[in-house]
Amino acid sequence: MNSRPRTRLAALCGVTALATLTTLATATAATPVLNGGWAPYDRCPVDAAAMLAADGLDQTPQCVVASSTGGSIKLGRTVVPVGKVNVQFGAIQHSDGTTSVVAPTSGAITGDTATVPGGLLGLMCPSSIPVIGPICKALIEDNSLNKITATVVSAGAPRDFNQYAAIVPGEPIVTVPIKIKLKNPFLSDNCYIGSNSNPILLKPRNAVEPAFAGEIFNGNGTPAPEGEAGDLTRLSFSGSPLTDSTFSVPGANGCGLLGAIDLAVNLKTGIPAGSGTNSITLTNAQLGVMAPYDATSTAPNAGQAFSGYWHSAAN
């Protein structure tokens, strides 16, 4: 059994609350391949100024990851599939019990697109709007034009963290601003439900109590031998879907030339829609945090040491 004092273990349990869904911008820069226990944290912003400045006394640096294999989101009267998503960001645990988040410069979320059942016909047809009638006719005559995909992306930085909600069911873990990108030849490349200025604000929570696991690693991500002190501790929570039914959904924007199709999407979908009429479920969710096993051992340079550990795991 590792004998080094676990001075921040309780805080680490709480910070897993940060590892919830939500979906931010797709990363554009290449990510490294990390070894061992570091593997899931390949986009953690360990070199961000706030992370490097963590001293290990009043601030402890951590890397947070959340993933889901998919799910669905109900927007008004319409259910839209959610593809596989991965959320990563840095977190700083403060000695007063609060937590702040540091998002990667490329965005905290990457995600797969999902095909919307029924395609564009199901999303906006039939319609009494004059400009939409010819589009619906074209979709019927050429079904290859009907396919529509949806991708959940970032609409702002996460906030309102509840540090201990990750270990219990039913409590909001974090507020995550998102928007949903719809893609089809008729919709233009800027068709979204929600926007940066008027996002969907998800507050995901565990549907049931998740399973817990804790592991100890050396700085480079290799497992620490039993009975020897490690440099890192990783806490993982799994087995509970993440859900929310409290968010409002704004209308579509940017769909078609000059937004000509916005109204049709809104009318058929049933949006804007207030709180209580929408819901989301993310399945096979995995939440985890990697942090110094004892941050005080590298104080006052805990952030720099943590960054060094991360880079030592890179291939």
Annotate 162-193 with DSSP letters as a single string.
-TTGGGSBSS---BEEEEEEEE-TTT-S--EE
- In this structure, are residues 92 and 51 in contact, taking their beta carbons and an 8 Å threshold? yes
How far is the C-alpha of 210 from the C-alpha of 286, rounded, in Å? 9
CB atoms within 10 A of CB 159: 12
Q: Which of 16, 47, 52 is nearest to 32 (CA)?
A: 47
Residue 2: pLDDT band by 50, 70, 90 thresholds? very low
- In this structure, are residues 6 and 153 in contact, taking their beta carbons and an 8 Å threshold? no
Q: Which of 2, 12, 47 is nearest to 29 (CA)?
A: 47
Question: For 189, what's the count of Cα atoms within 13 Å in the CB-facing half-sphere?
Answer: 0
Token digits of residue 211: 């399973």
Q: Which one is predicted more confidently, 223 or 101?
A: 223
How far is the C-alpha of 150 from the C-alpha of 122, rounded, in Å? 14
Residue 242: pLDDT band by 50, 70, 90 thresholds? very high
Token digits of residue 251: 């209308």
97: left (phi over 0), alpha (psi -120 to 50) or beta: left
Taken as a whole, the chain contains a residue count of: 315
DSSP H or E segment with residue 14: helix 9-15
Mean pLDDT (the chain) is 86
Mean pLDDT comparison of 4-18, 50-64, 104-118, highest-scoring range: 50-64
Question: Residues with Cβ < 8 Å from 41, sequence gap 6 or more?
Answer: 34, 63, 65, 88, 290, 310
How far is the C-alpha of 60 from the C-alpha of 283, rounded, in Å? 30
Residue 132: pLDDT band by 50, 70, 90 thresholds? confident
Residue 107 φ/ψ, nearest 5 degrees: 105, 150
Domain range list for the chain: 9-312
DSSP 35: -
Taking only the tens place, the pLDDT of each residue in 150-192 is: 998 888 888 877 778 888 999 988 888 899 999 998 898 999 9
How far is the C-alpha of 18 from the C-alpha of 107, rounded, in Å? 15
- In this structure, are residues 61 and 303 in contact, taking their beta carbons and an 8 Å threshold? yes
Distance between alpha carbon 212 and the CA centroid of its chain, in Å? Answer: 20
How far is the C-alpha of 270 from the C-alpha of 142, rounded, in Å? 26
Token digits of residue 265: 């999407």
How far is the C-alpha of 64 from the C-alpha of 34, rounded, in Å? 15
Taking only the tens place, the pLDDT of each residue in 34-67 is: 999 999 999 999 999 999 999 999 999 999 998 9
268: left (phi over 0), alpha (psi -120 to 50) or beta: alpha
DSSP 17: G
pLDDT for res 118:
86
